Amino acid sequence: MTITMNHGAGGRIMHEFIHASILAHLGNDLLLRMDDAAVLEPSGPCKIAMTTDSYVVHPLFFPGGDIGKLAICGTVNDLSTSGAIPRWLTLSFILEEGFPLESLDRIIASIGATAREAGVLIVTGDTKVVEKGKGDGIFINTAGVGFIPEGVNLSTHNARPGDSVLINGPMGNHEAALFTVREQLPFTTTIESDAAPLNHLVQKLLGLSSGIRSVKDPTRGGVASALWEICDHSSVTITVQEDALPVDPQVRGVCELVGFDPMYMANEGKIIVVCDSDHKEVLLAAMGPGASCIGTVCEGAPSLTMATSIGGIRRLSMMENIQLPRIC
Amino acid sequence: MTITMNHGAGGRIMHEFIHASILAHLGNDLLLRMDDAAVLEPSGPCKIAMTTDSYVVHPLFFPGGDIGKLAICGTVNDLSTSGAIPRWLTLSFILEEGFPLESLDRIIASIGATAREAGVLIVTGDTKVVEKGKGDGIFINTAGVGFIPEGVNLSTHNARPGDSVLINGPMGNHEAALFTVREQLPFTTTIESDAAPLNHLVQKLLGLSSGIRSVKDPTRGGVASALWEICDHSSVTITVQEDALPVDPQVRGVCELVGFDPMYMANEGKIIVVCDSDHKEVLLAAMGPGASCIGTVCEGAPSLTMATSIGGIRRLSMMENIQLPRIC
């Protein structure tokens, strides 16, 4: 069974598809009302965080995840970086005619499992179908809404000189995992994507410390681009210590083979935390055994520099050219 | 200048593209913060409406509109049907490598103009690029959030026997306009899409009457599918009067030529209003000169019937087969 143009036409077949394939995995009281907009009641007055991402990852299934898991993690994590507790997600498919329903079902099941892990509800959605050759199997968009608890104020604009820069684990595993399934490598690896919802971790950290200035997930463009954005938005210099940058040996092997820089490789389960340096130890302990302090925030014009292993200083720019397309 | 893979890569070129092309047209205080999630403050405690749609319309520019205008109208209108005042929209592009930047700029300008007309802000967004041949120029997703004023309760679940069914103008113009630019017709027409944001109209109607049960925009699947959904959700029969159904002569001409049924043709600037019949006249007067009462809600099993011009009764089903793909 494959997707036909009728699956996106708004008639009987689309109606049956939504009931059989989507509501079966994702049904909840809000979604089941099936009005054009979901009506939601916040539990009290609070700030709202809102975000969106489209997902065009290739291939659709990869070690450690799939496009469905990514579509939930990415949007949950973007909400989490604002300090919000993610609550409601929208889900929109652009399907190519001929896409196997079996693959779609696997993806929707993965969306359901990841949404449950993150504790979010899919509250409304949309399905469009394009002719064969006008898309690439499936593209997904999710948008999300979350609530920011009172007193929480995280932003890439908040870093201050003296702050520490932490990360919760090794860099580049997501992009390296995609690379290994797309390209023929002269060796085998067991690299998996790090894709994971990070909202529970961020909330735990916020409960432990009032000294967190900024949380950022280093996805496209990697840790370097994420830090560069914090430098730019906060008008500070950040210096990272090359020796302190965590990279798994297998990921380093792939990078050396093909000339990728792990600092620019995409992650889907990592956060950078910029915090008051007095709070560094308690946060690192809570971030798990893979966590490390990778740098410090200094006064200066917006710039990102690296103190290299051999004692030099290297300036890092934004990513100039794409390493691997369609990683999310 | 055309879109390259680097426009979606998360590096310098994407950064410059966002500033030059997107912020130039759509910039506002919320969007300009450029955090991963927008942080929004509602003015008080209230219910939130949330919706999403992806747009794959073909061609991208058509008489009366373009994909950008549609992407704002569709999401604004889905929020409006819940009685919400639309406020914040997300905007996500999936671009095909090689897409002309000039076309993208026209589309973004149209998004900006329509958002201003509707009174909504684009607060966050995303851009992805896929390789040439893996997409079709541009796909857009918008998701939206609005606030439902206290006491407003609209839903397709609320229709009651005795209610009247109103529409604000003729059916099928959007789909007919797309048809005329896609197909070679033996005559020329001046048919334009009816695409328009309907939030101001819906709010005006809500201010005039407490007897509105349901508002629904008859997009994909047309008026028949929209009414069918109300019948299904409210467990009622709706009977429409064939003689009362408004169709422009040129649209009727296209339908007769190619065998389309205007009841199943998509609209992008129409609302169906189900209301207490005592409130019918005041609402029709406010809905404008093209408005008409097209039917009534009756007790009975969920079904949609038409009292035909020649005195018969015809049962209408959900749309069975697609008339024209990629209309929104």
Q: Residues 260 to 289 of A: which have CB under 8 A from any B CB? A: 264, 266
pLDDT digits 0-9 by tens, B25-56: 898 888 888 888 888 888 777 889 999 999 99
Distance CA B215, CA B237 (A): 17
Q: pLDDT value at position B24? A: 86
Q: Which of B248, B224, B225 is nearest to B173 (CA)?
A: B248
The reply to whether A74 touches chain B by the CB within 8 Å rule is no
Inform me whether the pLDDT recorded for A319 exceeds 90: no
Q: Helix, strand, or coil here: A309?
A: coil
Inform me whether the pLDDT recorded for A45 exceeds 80: no
Q: pLDDT value at position A9? A: 86
The radius of gyration computed from the CA coordinates of chain A, to the nearest angstrom, equals: 21
Contact A216 B36 (CB under 8 A): yes
Name which of B82, B139, B143 is nearest A94 (Cβ-Cβ): B139
CB contacts, 8 Å: A320 with chain B: 11-12
Contact A84 B38 (CB under 8 A): no
Q: What percent of chain B has pLDDT over 90?
A: 83
CB contacts, 8 Å: B320 with chain A: 11-12
Are the C-beta atoms of residues B216 and B229 closer than 8 Å to each other?
Answer: yes
- Residues forming a β-bridge with A141: A54, A92
Q: Kind of pairing, strands A303-307 and A237-241?
A: parallel
Q: pLDDT value at position B304? A: 97
Q: Residues 115 to 174 of B: which have CB under 8 A from any A CB? A: 123-126, 128-131, 133-136, 139, 141, 143-146, 148, 155-157
Residue partners of A182: CB distance under 8 A and separation at least 6: A58, A59, A324
B314 burial type by CB count under 10 A (0-12 exposed, 13-18 middle, 19+ buried): exposed
Distance CA A266, CA A57 (A): 12
Q: What is the greatest pairwise CA distance in chain B?
A: 67
Distance CA A143, CA A122 (A): 10
Q: Which alpha helices (H) appear in chain B, and where do they start and end?
A: 12-17, 24-26, 29-32, 67-80, 101-118, 173-182, 199-208, 222-234, 249-258, 280-287
- Once rounded to an integer, what is the mean pLDDT over residues B106-131? 96
The reply to whether B321 touches chain A by the CB within 8 Å rule is yes
Q: What is the torsional sign of CA A136, A113, A40, B167?
A: positive
Contact A221 B123 (CB under 8 A): no
DSSP conformational letter for A265 = S
- Residues forming a β-bridge with B216: B272
Q: pLDDT value at position B322? A: 85
Taking the CA of residue A287 and the nearest CA in chain B, the distance in Å comes to: 21
- Once rounded to an integer, what is the mean pLDDT over residues B210-219? 97
Distance CA A251, CA A244 (A): 16
Q: What percent of chain B has pLDDT over 70?
A: 100
The reply to whether A257 touches chain B by the CB within 8 Å rule is no
Inform me whether the pLDDT recorded for B100 exceeds 90: yes
Phi, psi of A163 (to 5 degrees): -65, 155
The reply to whether B82 touches chain A by the CB within 8 Å rule is yes
Q: What percent of chain A has pLDDT over 70?
A: 100
CB contacts, 8 Å: A217 with chain B: 36
What is the Cα B102 distance to its own chain's centre? 25
Q: Identify the band that residue A158 occupies on the pLDDT scale cut at 50, 70 and 90.
A: very high
pLDDT digits 0-9 by tens, A101-133: 999 999 999 999 999 999 999 999 999 999 999
pLDDT digits 0-9 by tens, A131-147: 999 999 999 999 999 99
Contact A91 B52 (CB under 8 A): yes
Distance CA B188, CA A9 (A): 27
Q: Which two tokens stand for residue B117?
A: 């007309």
Residue partners of A273: CB distance under 8 A and separation at least 6: A165, A166, A167, A168, A205, A212, A214, A215, A283, A287
Contact B49 A37 (CB under 8 A): yes
CB contacts, 8 Å: A82 with chain B: 35-37, 39
This prediction has a pTM of 0.95
Contact A318 B11 (CB under 8 A): yes
Q: pLDDT value at position B9? A: 86
Inform me whether the pLDDT recorded for B142 exceeds 80: yes
Q: pLDDT value at position A119? A: 97
Lowest mean pLDDT among A76-85, A143-152, A316-325: A316-325
Distance CA A286, CA A284 (A): 5
Inform me whether the pLDDT recorded for A43 exceeds 80: no
Task: Classify the complex by whether its ipTM is higher than 0.90, answering yes or no.
Answer: yes
Residue found under tokens 């894709």:
A195
Q: pLDDT value at position A74? A: 97
Query: What domains can be seen in chain A, in order of their start residue?
Result: 35-148 (3.30.1330.10), 164-316 (3.90.650.10)
Are the C-beta atoms of residues A70 and A114 closer than 8 Å to each other?
Answer: no
Q: pLDDT value at position A35? A: 82
Distance CA B294, CA B253 (A): 21
Inform me whether the pLDDT recorded for B240 exceeds 90: yes
Q: Identify the band that residue A264 occupies on the pLDDT scale cut at 50, 70 and 90.
A: very high
Q: Helix, strand, or coil here: B31?
A: helix
Q: What is the greatest pairwise CA distance in chain A?
A: 68
User: Which residue in chain A is spatially nearest to B324 when comparing CA positions?
Assistant: A9
Q: Helix, strand, or coil here: B293?
A: strand
- Once rounded to an integer, what is the mean pLDDT over residues B152-173? 97
CB contacts, 8 Å: A157 with chain B: 33, 35
User: Which residue in chain B is spatially nearest to A324 when comparing CA positions?
Assistant: B9
DSSP conformational letter for B100 = B
Inform me whether the pLDDT recorded for A10 exceeds 90: no
Q: pLDDT value at position B73? A: 98
Q: pLDDT value at position B10? A: 83
- Once rounded to an integer, what is the mean pLDDT over residues B118-128? 95
Distance CA A62, CA A74 (A): 16
Contact B129 A325 (CB under 8 A): yes
- Once rounded to an integer, what is the mean pLDDT over residues B100-126? 96
Average pLDDT, rounded, for chain A: 94
Q: Helix, strand, or coil here: B211?
A: coil
